[in-house]
Homo-oligomer: A and B are copies of this chain.
Amino acid sequence: LAAELVAMLNNRRVARSKQQWLDEEQQQAWIALVHLMIRLPAVLDAQLRRDAEMSHFEYQILAALSMAPGRSMRMSDLATITEGSLARLSQASGRLERRGWLRRTPDPDDGRCTLAILSDAGETKVHDAAPGHVHAVREIVFASLSRTQIRQLTTTAHRVLETIERLDDAGSSPM
Contact = CB atoms under 8 A, between A and B. Distances in A.
A95 interface: no
B17 A150 contact: no
B36 A134 contact: no
Interface in A55-110: 60, 63-64, 66-68, 73, 76-77, 80-81, 83
B7 A67 contact: no
Please tell me the size bucket of the interface on A: 35 or more
A25 B83 contact: no
Interface of A: 3, 6-7, 10-11, 13-14, 16-18, 21-22, 25-26, 28-30, 32-41, 43, 60, 63-64, 66-68, 73, 76-77, 80-81, 83, 126, 130-131, 134-135, 137-145, 147, 149-164, 167-168
